[in-house]
């Protein structure tokens, strides 16, 4: 058959699958109303975008609804063509003077192909280079209607969004689970213009003035001489900077806490960090801080898991995000606002709202929910969407305005400027993922990579040649509101307000709000990081900073480093703890958790039933067997060669565990304790790690003997049930607390 017929068959088969998947009768299909879980690893054709998401591809650069130009699509037709559309018969052989002869310069297809390839890479982001993004929908509750005129916050309005999560320090190919701050940037394609909320998973920042940003990043990035270490803060220049610029101590303690190593993007809070100003229809204003609250709660990795994952699965967070979306466990957050009166002092409960190194504890200003974000679609093309998305704090719709926070003011310059190099020119807003969904009629013209074919002759105002178009909007047409905030008559100075000099009280507040096990993790993190520093003077200076936070913290880290404990240089702040800052002691829905299930070749029925129970509970089973292929009718997703405990949240051992192959050494061989080969040593390692990382473990039937053999039976968080179903039920209960905290010695201190 002709190649074109084969292609036609393939295309038709794929289209039929998509049609099936879209049928409202299929659980989980859009419109069916019953999102169901499916194998994250089963490949399927991408679903077409949902109608309500109105993807940017369907818009022209000017936002016109009709006449979508054919060039908006990446590919058309079934035949391979040149970039100019000429059909090609061969792309595997260059044009040569004879089979053994030189390649001819006239081979235009070869030169076009290689030229394009040579320029496929663009500069990575100077910070936040490593990330992952997804599409979704934001639905407003309407609770902020009285505070802002922003249309997307009116009741039940649905707004398409694109979210990009990231680490800060690492390069584009660096590991996901390093200890670092995470970016949480959201683009709301609102009907009144795009709103970008460019936040982090930590509510404070290292510096109070944007002018220091290049300095803190130079200090955090790898050393300029040898370009190491990659994607981490455990090195001399970072600790040199933060111990000298003590305003960084608050952000640093968050990094040293478990917040620096999130379990998943799905289990991170997000914060706008700065204070913003909302304005309503009547022109009244309030000051607000934005918060994202994850439906699954705030959870973190243990440091050992994070380190293992950096090698075993450097894409762990990216994979987790995409697997969750593809399996139907859509990640969810609630957007909340802390609302403060807009007073001339711009202060609340003694906290300067313009200081980005300070939080307002939630106990003093409740976070009020205003809407819900659901991520439900993975990118179609990573480069086109995730790499080319460009966020900017100045992308503001009417109803949201900025404040004088000096960090925020600097960012208002940086995010536009950086795209000129990264996306090679001023027209990056025309890239599909960056196109507004609101109609655009600007007077910007020309420039590199201009995509729009602008009509008219008068891109200036007023004009008499284009009928006066475009026209200025007023209040009635919902024009952007620059809130006329009074600027004090003041001298031009390079200086901060005096309140910015308090660098320690909130560091202590954070420390005091942690439970014993979280404090223990913080101590270990500082000891690890400073242990990687070579210069003695830097360690001593950082210990001096810790002395001003807490004597126990300082003493424990000093002991770990083998250094003397310094005295504080100022009195310790009197602060009230904020329990909302702790991750321990809450119970969360365990939806979307990964359940590893170790199985042998028998008991296929039991495993099938268990798998169904896990799916029904909104979680995802991972079947781990000695070999690939199938167990009964169940597909094996990991073998003992590819599975490692760090991938899942809980571990179950099925009733019929596999025997150990003779060829593998067992740890007992090493210990000289004989050769009990009743359990595969790789299964023993999984159990060992899962136990050490305080994960729930369960077994039933003969599986219980495996736990016995691993030496964990009868310890907290290890359940032996009658059947797969009741073992899973007990494990499910344990997952609500995320970890079996009692297993960490410090948790009982
Ligand atoms: Fe950024 N930041 N930043 N930042 N930032 C960038 O913009 C900058 C800051 C944040 O997924 C850059 O497009 C300055 C705070 C996120 O594409 C750049 C200052 C917060 C992302 C830039 C800050 C952030 C960026 C690099 C100090 C949390 C990734 C590429 C005044 C509230 C966005 C780019 C994405 C990215 C500058 C501080 C969050 C260079 C000058 C505070 C989530 O423009």
Q: Are 655 and 600 in contact (CB under 8 A)?
A: no
pLDDT higher than 50, residue 747: yes
In Å, what is the CA distance from 470 to each residue of 427, 440, 456, 458?
Answer: 20, 10, 11, 9
Determine which helix (DSSP H) or strand (DSSP E) holds 411, and give its type and residue range.
Answer: helix 406-422
In short, whether 418's Cβ falls inside 6 Å of ligand 1 is yes
CB atoms within 10 A of CB 572: 14
Contacts of 109 (CB under 8 A, 6+ apart): 82, 88, 91, 95
CA of 533 to the centre of ligand 1 (A): 27
Q: Across the strands, what pairs with 371?
A: 140, 335
CATH number of 504-581: 1.20.1370.20
In whole angstroms, what is the distance from residue 224 CA to residue 247 CA? 24
In short, whether 410's Cβ falls inside 6 Å of ligand 1 is yes
In whole angstroms, what is the distance from residue 274 CA to residue 296 CA? 25
**Catalytic residues, which ones?**
128, 200
Residue 322: helix, strand or coil by DSSP? Answer: helix
**Atom number of ligand 1 nearest to Cα 419:** 13
**Atom number of ligand 1 nearest to Cα 209:** 31
In short, whether 126's Cβ falls inside 6 Å of ligand 1 is yes
Which tokens in the block code for residue 376? 């439900």
**Atom number of ligand 1 nearest to Cα 125:** 30
Q: Where are the domains of the chain?
A: 1-48, 131-434, 504-581, 594-748
In whole angstroms, what is the distance from residue 427 CA to residue 447 CA? 7
In short, whether 409's Cβ falls inside 6 Å of ligand 1 is no
| Nearest alpha carbon, ligand 1 atom 8 | 411
Residue 37: band (very low, low, confident or very high) from pLDDT cuts 50, 70, 90 = low
Flag whether 422 is marked binding. yes
| Nearest alpha carbon, ligand 1 atom 11 | 164
Flag whether 100 is marked binding. no
**Atom number of ligand 1 nearest to Cα 128:** 29
CA of 38 to the centre of ligand 1 (A): 35
Residue 600: band (very low, low, confident or very high) from pLDDT cuts 50, 70, 90 = confident
Half-sphere exposure of 589 (CA within 13 A, CB side): 13
CA of 168 to the centre of ligand 1 (A): 9
Flag whether 677 is marked binding. no
Q: For position 603, what pLDDT does the model report?
A: 76
CB atoms within 10 A of CB 157: 17
pLDDT higher than 70, residue 748: no
Which tokens in the block code for residue 474? 């007023």
Probe target for ligand 1 pocket from 170, 180, 181, 183, with the most ligand atoms within 8 Å of CB: 183
**Atom number of ligand 1 nearest to Cα 164:** 11
Cis peptide before 462 (omega within 30 of 0): yes
Contacts of 194 (CB under 8 A, 6+ apart): 187, 188, 395, 397, 436, 437, 438
Q: What predicted TM-score, i.e. pTM, was given to this entire model?
A: 0.90
Give the burial class of 362: count Cβ atoms within 10 A of its Cβ; 0-12 exposed, 13-18 middle, 19 or more buried.
Answer: middle
Residue 333: helix, strand or coil by DSSP? Answer: strand
Of 589, 588, 607, the residue nearest 597 (C-alpha) = 607
In whole angstroms, what is the distance from residue 720 CA to residue 724 CA? 9
In short, whether 200's Cβ falls inside 6 Å of ligand 1 is yes
| Nearest alpha carbon, ligand 1 atom 32 | 199
CA of 512 to the centre of ligand 1 (A): 29
Residue 192: band (very low, low, confident or very high) from pLDDT cuts 50, 70, 90 = very high
CA of 702 to the centre of ligand 1 (A): 53
CA of 200 to the centre of ligand 1 (A): 9
Of 578, 515, 510, 570, the residue nearest 545 (C-alpha) = 570
Which tokens in the block code for residue 201? 């998973």
Greatest C-alpha distance within the chain: 96
DSSP state string for 412-428: HHHHHHHHHHHTTSTTG
The average confidence (pLDDT) of the chain is 90
Task: Give the dihedral sign, CA 253/258/261/267.
Answer: negative
Determine which helix (DSSP H) or strand (DSSP E) holds 321, and give its type and residue range.
Answer: helix 316-326
In this prediction, does ipTM exceed 0.90? yes
Probe target for ligand 1 pocket from 215, 291, 391, 392, with the most ligand atoms within 8 Å of CB: 391
Q: Are 335 and 371 in contact (CB under 8 A)?
A: yes
In short, whether 270's Cβ falls inside 6 Å of ligand 1 is no
pLDDT higher than 50, residue 69: no
In short, whether 400's Cβ falls inside 6 Å of ligand 1 is no
| Nearest alpha carbon, ligand 1 atom 29 | 128
In Å, what is the CA distance from 450 to each residue of 60, 384, 431?
Answer: 13, 17, 10
Q: For position 224, what pLDDT does the model report?
A: 96
Which tokens in the block code for residue 441? 């009629």
Q: For position 313, what pLDDT does the model report?
A: 96
More confident residue, 718 or 668: 718
Q: Are 604 and 631 in contact (CB under 8 A)?
A: yes
pLDDT higher than 60, residue 9: yes
Q: For position 396, what pLDDT does the model report?
A: 98
Q: Across the strands, what pairs with 368?
A: 337
Q: Are 210 and 414 in contact (CB under 8 A)?
A: yes
In whole angstroms, what is the distance from residue 225 CA to residue 222 CA? 9
More confident residue, 29 or 116: 116
Which tokens in the block code for residue 300? 């973190």
- CATH value of 594-748 in 3.30.565.10, 3.10.580.10, 3.40.50.880, 3.90.1150.10: 3.40.50.880
In short, whether 128's Cβ falls inside 6 Å of ligand 1 is yes
Residue 57: band (very low, low, confident or very high) from pLDDT cuts 50, 70, 90 = very low
Q: For position 77, what pLDDT does the model report?
A: 83
Flag whether 164 is marked binding. yes
In whole angstroms, what is the distance from residue 587 CA to residue 650 CA? 16
In short, whether 335's Cβ falls inside 6 Å of ligand 1 is no
In tens, the pLDDT along 336-390 reads: 999 999 999 999 999 999 999 999 999 999 999 999 999 999 999 999 999 999 9
Residue keyed to tokens 């249309």? 151
Q: For position 42, what pLDDT does the model report?
A: 46
In short, whether 183's Cβ falls inside 6 Å of ligand 1 is yes
What's the average model confidence in pLDDT over 698-711? 91
Flag whether 682 is marked binding. no
Of 584, 576, 529, 519, the residue nearest 551 (C-alpha) = 519
Task: Give the dihedral sign, CA 460/465/466/471.
Answer: positive
In short, whether 275's Cβ falls inside 6 Å of ligand 1 is no
DSSP state string for 682-710: HHHHHHHHHHHTT-EEEEETTHHHHHHHH
CA of 184 to the centre of ligand 1 (A): 10
Which tokens in the block code for residue 27? 């659980």
pLDDT higher than 70, residue 487: yes
Q: Across the strands, what pairs with 622?
A: 596
Q: Are 636 and 629 in contact (CB under 8 A)?
A: yes
Probe target for ligand 1 pocket from 123, 128, 161, 428, with the most ligand atoms within 8 Å of CB: 128
| Nearest alpha carbon, ligand 1 atom 30 | 125
- CATH value of 131-434 in 3.40.30.10, 2.40.180.10, 3.40.190.10, 3.40.50.1970: 2.40.180.10
| Nearest alpha carbon, ligand 1 atom 6 | 127
Q: For position 21, what pLDDT does the model report?
A: 45
**Atom number of ligand 1 nearest to Cα 165:** 11
């Amino acid at each position: 058959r002709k190649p074109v017929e084969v292609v036609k068959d393939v295309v038709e088969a794929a289209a039929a699958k998509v049609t099936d998947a879209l049928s409202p009768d299929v659980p989980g299909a859009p419109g069916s109303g019953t999102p169901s879980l499916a194998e994250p690893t089963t490949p399927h054709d991408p679903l077409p975008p949902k109608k309500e998401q109105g993807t940017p591809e369907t818009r022209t650069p000017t936002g016109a609804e009709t006449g979508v130009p054919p060039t908006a699509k990446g590919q058309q037709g079934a035949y391979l063509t040149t970039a100019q559309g000429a059909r090609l018969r061969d792309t595997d052989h260059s044009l040569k003077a004879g089979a053994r002869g030189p390649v001819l310069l006239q081979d235009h297809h070869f030169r076009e192909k290689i030229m394009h390839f040579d320029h496929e890479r663009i500069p990575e982001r100077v910070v936040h280079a490593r990330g992952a993004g997804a599409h979704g929908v934001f639905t407003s509750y309407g609770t902020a209607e009285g505070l802002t005129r922003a249309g997307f916050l009116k009741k039940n309005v649905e707004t398409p969004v694109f979210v990009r999560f990231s680490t800060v320090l690492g390069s584009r190919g660096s590991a996901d689970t390093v200890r670092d701050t995470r970016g949480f940037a959201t683009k709301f394609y609102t009907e009144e213009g795009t709103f970008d909320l460019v936040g982090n998973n930590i509510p404070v920042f290292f510096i109070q003035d944007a002018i220091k940003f290049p300095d803190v990043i130079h200090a955090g990035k790898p050393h300029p001489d040898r370009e190491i270490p990659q994607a981490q803060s455990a090195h001399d220049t970072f600790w040199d900077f933060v111990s000298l610029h003590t305003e960084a101590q608050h952000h640093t303690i968050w990094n040293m806490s478990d917040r620096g190593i999130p379990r998943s993007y799905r289990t991170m809070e997000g914060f706008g960090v700065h204070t913003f100003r909302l304005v309503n229809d009547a022109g009244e204003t309030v000051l607000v801080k934005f918060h994202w609250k994850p439906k699954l709660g705030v959870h973190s990795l243990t440091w050992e898991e994070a380190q293992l994952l950096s090698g075993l699965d450097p894409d762990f967070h990216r994979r987790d995000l995409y697997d969750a979306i593809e399996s139907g466990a859509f990640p969810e957050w609630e957007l909340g606002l802390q609302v403060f009166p807009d007073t001339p002092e711009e202060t609340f409960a003694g906290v300067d709202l313009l200081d980005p190194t300070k939080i307002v504890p939630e106990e003093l200003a409740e976070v009020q929910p205003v809407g819900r974000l659901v991520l439900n679609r993975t990118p179609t093309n990573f480069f086109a969407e995730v790499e080319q998305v460009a966020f900017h704090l100045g992308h503001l719709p009417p109803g949201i305005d900025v404040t004088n926070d000096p960090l925020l003011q600097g960012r208002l310059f940086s995010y536009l400027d950086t795209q000129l190099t990264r996306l090679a020119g001023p027209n990056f807003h025309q890239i599909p993922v960056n196109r507004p969904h609101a109609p655009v009629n600007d007077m910007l013209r020309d420039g590199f990579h201009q995509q729009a074919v602008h009509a008219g002759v008068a891109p200036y105002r007023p004009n008499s040649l284009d009928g006066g178009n475009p026209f200025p909007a007023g209040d009635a047409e919902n024009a952007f509101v620059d809130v006329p905030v009074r600027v004090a008559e003041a001298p031009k100075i390079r200086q901060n307000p005096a309140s910015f000099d308090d660098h320690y009280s909130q560091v202590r507040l954070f420390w005091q709000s942690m439970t014993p096990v979280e404090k223990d993790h913080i101590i270990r993190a500082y000891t690890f990081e400073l242990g990687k520093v070579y210069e003695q003077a830097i360690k001593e200076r950082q210990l001096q900073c810790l002395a001003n936070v807490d004597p126990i913290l300082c003493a424990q880290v000093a002991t770990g480093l083998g250094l003397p404990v310094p005295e504080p240089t100022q009195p310790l702040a009197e602060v009230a703890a904020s329990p909302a800052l702790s991750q321990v002691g809450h119970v969360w829905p365990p939806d979307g958790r990964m359940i590893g299930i170790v199985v042998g070749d028998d008991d296929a029925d039991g495993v099938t039933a268990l798998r169904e129970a896990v799916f029904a509970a909104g979680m995802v089973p991972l079947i781990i067997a000695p070999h690939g292929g199938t167990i009964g009718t169940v597909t094996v997703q990991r073998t003992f060669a590819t599975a490692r405990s760090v991938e899942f949240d809980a571990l179950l051992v099925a009733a019929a565990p596999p025997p150990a192959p003779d060829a593998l050494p067992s740890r007992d061989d090493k210990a000289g304790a004989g050769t009990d080969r009743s359990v595969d040593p790789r299964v023993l390692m999984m159990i060992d790690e899962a136990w050490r990382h305080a994960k729930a473990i369960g077994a039933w039937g003969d599986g219980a003997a495996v736990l016995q053999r691993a030496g964990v039976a009868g310890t907290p968080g290890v359940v032996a049930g009658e059947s797969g179903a009741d073992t899973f039920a007990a494990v499910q209960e344990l997952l609500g607390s995320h970890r079996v905290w009692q297993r960490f010695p410090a948790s009982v201190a």
